[in-house]
Structure 1
Amino acid sequence: MSTLTRARRKLRAHPVAADAALAAGVLACMVAGSFAEPHGPEGIDWGVRTPDVLSLVLMTLAAAALAFRRRAPRTVLAVASGASVVESVTGDPRAPVAMCAVIALYTVAATTDRPTTWRIGLLTTTVLTGASMAAGPLPWYAQENLAIFAWTGIGATAGDAVRSRRAFVQAIRERAERAERTREEEARRRVAEERLRIARDLHDVVAHHIALVNVQAGVAAHVMDKRPDQAKEALAHVREASRSALGELRATVGLLRQSGDPEAPTEPAPGLDRLDELAGTFRSAGLPVEVARGDEGAGLPAAVDLAAYRIVQEALTNVRKHAGADARAEVSVVRVGPRIEITVLDDGAGQDQDHAPGGGHGLLGMRERVTALGGTLTTGPRYGGGFRVHAILPVTTRTSGARDGRP
C-alpha cells in the first residue's frame, strides 16, 4: 500500500482534521498571494506589497470557516462569500479571499441535489462577480473580476460532478447488493423446491412398496402354519416389493450424488407404460384393480408421464391402506384433447384420507405434482361409499413446449 493511499484513508477516518488541514493550507496560499503583485514589470513580483490588517482578518475568518464545511456547508459558504464581498468593496483585492468561497461552493454542490446547486451556484457567482465589478477599485472588465466568475462556476460544476459520481457508485453498489440478495433468495427457493420434490418422490416410493410389504408379511404370518405354500408366495411378493423399493430409492438418491461420486442409476423414470405392472403389484397384494385406458399411442412429456404414474400409485396405495380389506379399485386414464385425465375410484368403507391418523401427505404430494404442471386435482368421498381421485394434467407443459420450440 502506497504512502498516499494510507494518508487518504487516515484523512477519511478523521474528516475534522482533514478540513482543518485544508483550512490551514488555504490560509497559507491566500497570505502568500497577498504579497504578490500580478501586474509587475516582469510579470508577478513577490514581496512588493504587504497585506493590510483588514485583509488578514478576512483571510483568517474565511479560512477558519472552512474547518466546518462538512457540518454546515451553506453557513460556511455565506461566511466565505461575505468576506470575499467585503474584500472586493473595501480595498485593493490582492488577497484572494474568493478562494474560500469557491471551496465552500464546491462543498455545497457535492452535498446537495442538482437544482439546489444551480440556484446557490448562480446566486454566489452573481453576488461575488457583481460586487467585484460594480464596487471594486478595478475596471469591471479586469482579469481579476472575470477570474472570480470562472472559479465560482468551476467550483459548482466540480462539486456537482463529484456528487453525481458518488450517487452512481452508490447505485451500483446497491444494485449489486440487491442482486446478491436476489441470487441468495433464488438459491434458497430452488433448494426448498428440490427438497420438496425429493421428499415427495421418496414418499411415493416408500409408501407404495412398504404398504405392499406390510400386507404380504401379514398374509405370510397368518397362513404360515396351515398353508406354507401360500406363505412362501406372500414372502416372494415381499421380496419383489422390497427389491423394487430399493431400486427406486437408489435411483432417487442417485440424483443427489456429486460429480465425483460413482455413476447414478440410468434407469428411466416410471410412466404410464408401467401402469399394468403397477396394478399387478396391488392385485398380488389382494387389492382387485381394474384398468381402463383411452390414451394408447399418445406420447406424453416425461414430467406429465411421471406425475400420472405417481398419482395412480399413491391413490392405489391409499386404497390399500385405508379402504378396507374388501375394497376394489378402478383406474381410468383418458386423453381428452390437450389434457389427460386420471381417475382412481374405490368402493371401500374405510375412513377418509384427510382424517386418517398420520395421513394427508399423499394427497398433498399429489396436489403439489398436479399444481406444478398447471393441472387440477379433485379428491373426496364418493356418494354411497368409497373415495375418488380425479386429476387433469395438460399434455403440453411449459417445459416441453419450450423444448419443442413452441411458445
Structure 2
Amino acid sequence: MNSSLERYTERVEQYASRFPRFPRFVDVTMVLALIGCAFFGTQLSLPGESRPDTGKSLEILLGLSCFVLLKYRTHTRTVVVVVAGVTIAAIARGYLLTPILLAPLLAAMYWLAVLCDRRTVRLYALVATVALLTVNLFSDGMRDLSPVLTVIGPVFWMALPLVGGSLARLRRDYLEAVKSRAEHAERTREEEARLRVTEERMRIARELHDVVAHHLALANAQAGTAAHLSRSNPEQSRQILDDLTGTTSSALRELKATLGLLRQDDRPKGEGLEPAPGLARLPE
C-alpha cells in the first residue's frame, strides 16, 4: 500500500509541476472536483433509506467549505478545522459517511500531513477522527450498520491521506537534503581547489625566493671577488666577471620560468599574453 501511495503522490506532484506559473489553476481545478464529490456524496444513502431532509443550506455550506481549501498553503490548520466542522455537521444531520463525502476533509488532511510538523498532524488527525467516529456512531445514516464497519471505514479513510502526505513530505525532505549535500559538495570542491591553488603558489613563491637568494648571493660574492682582484690579478678578475654574467643570466632564466608558471590561466595558449611595454608606449 505504501508503494502505491508513493507512486500516486509522485504523479500528483509531477502533474502539478507542469503548471509552475499557474498554481491557482491547479488549486481551483482541485476545489471544483471536491465540490462535485461533496455534492455527489450528499445524494447517496443506504438501500431502502431516504436522504435527510435538510434543504440546500448544508449542501451549499459543504461547497463553500471546499473553497476554503484555496488557502491550504498559508492557513493549513484553519482549513482543516473549517472543513472538518462542516463535514461532521453534515454527518450529524444524517448524511451517509462515504469517501466521496469525506473528499474535502481527506484533501485537507493530506495537505496538513505535507505542510505541518508531525506533532500537529497527530493532534489534528486524532481530534478529527475521534469527533468523526463519535458523530458517526450516533448518526441516523449508519444505524443499520454494525459498529465495527462504522469505526473501521472512517479510520481507514482518514489514514490514507495522512500516510500519503507523510510520504510526500519525506520525499520532499529527502530531495531537499540531496540538493543541500550537492551544494555543500560543490562549495567544498571549489574551496578545496582554491586552497590547492594557494598552496601551489606558496610553494612556487618559496622556490622563487630560494632561486633568487642563491643567485644574488653568488653574484654578490663574485662581484666582490672581482673588485678585490681587479688590480692584483686582472686576468682572474675578468674570468670572474664572465662567470658573473652567466650567474645573472641563469637567475633571469629561472626567474622567467617560475613567473611563467604563475601567469598560466585557462585561456588558449598565447591568448592574452604580450611583451612587456617599452618606451615606445610611454604616451599611452
Q: Same fold (TM over 0.5)?
A: yes
Paired position in structure 2 for 1:122: 126
Q: Determine the C-alpha separation between the residues in 2 that align with 1:114 and 1:174.
A: 22
Structure 2 Cα separation of the partners of residues 211 and 136 of structure 1: 108
Determine whether 1:147 maps to 2:153: yes
Q: 1:101 aligns with which of 102, 105, 109?
A: 105
Runs of 5+ unmatched residues, structure 1: 41-47, 262-407
Greater relative contact order structure (CA < 8 Å, 6+ sep):
2
d(CA) in 2 for partners of 1:71 and 1:238?
82
Instruction: Give the C-alpha shift of residue 171 in structure 1.
Output: 1.1
Number of the residue aligned with 1:138: 142
RMSD: 3.6
Paired residue type of 2:239: E
TM-score (norm: length of structure 2):
0.73
Residues in 2 aligned to 1:250 and 1:39: alpha-carbon distance in whole angstroms: 99
Q: Which has the larger radius of gyration?
A: 1
The 3 A distance-change label for structure 1 pair 136 and 211 is farther
**1:1-400 mapped onto 2 (5 Å cutoff):** 8-9=16-17, 11-36=19-44, 39=47, 52-93=55-96, 96-139=100-143, 141=146, 146-217=152-223, 219-220=225-226, 224=230, 227-242=233-248, 245=251
After TM superposition, give the deviation of residue 174 of structure 1 in Å.
0.8
Matched-pair contact (CA < 8 Å) for 2:35–2:62: yes
Larger helix proportion, structure 1 or 2? Answer: 2
- The CA distance in 2 between the partners of 1:97 and 1:160, in whole Å, is 23
Q: Distance in 2 between matches of 1:254 and 1:236?
A: 27
CA contact (8 A) 1:69 1:76 kept: yes
Give the counterpart letter for 1:112 in structure 2: C
- The runs of at least 4 aligned residues of structure 1 exceeding 6 Å deviation read 4-7, 48-51, 253-258
Question: What percent identity do the matched residue pairs reach?
Answer: 33
CA contact (8 A) 1:36 1:49 kept: no
* Per-residue Cα deviation, 1:148-169 (whole angstroms, up to 9, x for no partner): 2211111111111111111111
Between the aligned partners of 2:136 and 2:59, the Cα distance in structure 1 is 19
SS of the residue corresponding to residue 19 of structure 2 reads: helix
Per the alignment, do residues 50 and 236 of structure 1 end up closer, same or farther by CA in structure 2, a change over 3 Å counting? farther
Alignment TM-score, normalising by the size of structure 1? 0.53
8 Å Cα contact 1:221/1:231 also seen in 2: yes
Other structure's SS at 1:13 match: coil
Aligned residue type for 2:165: G
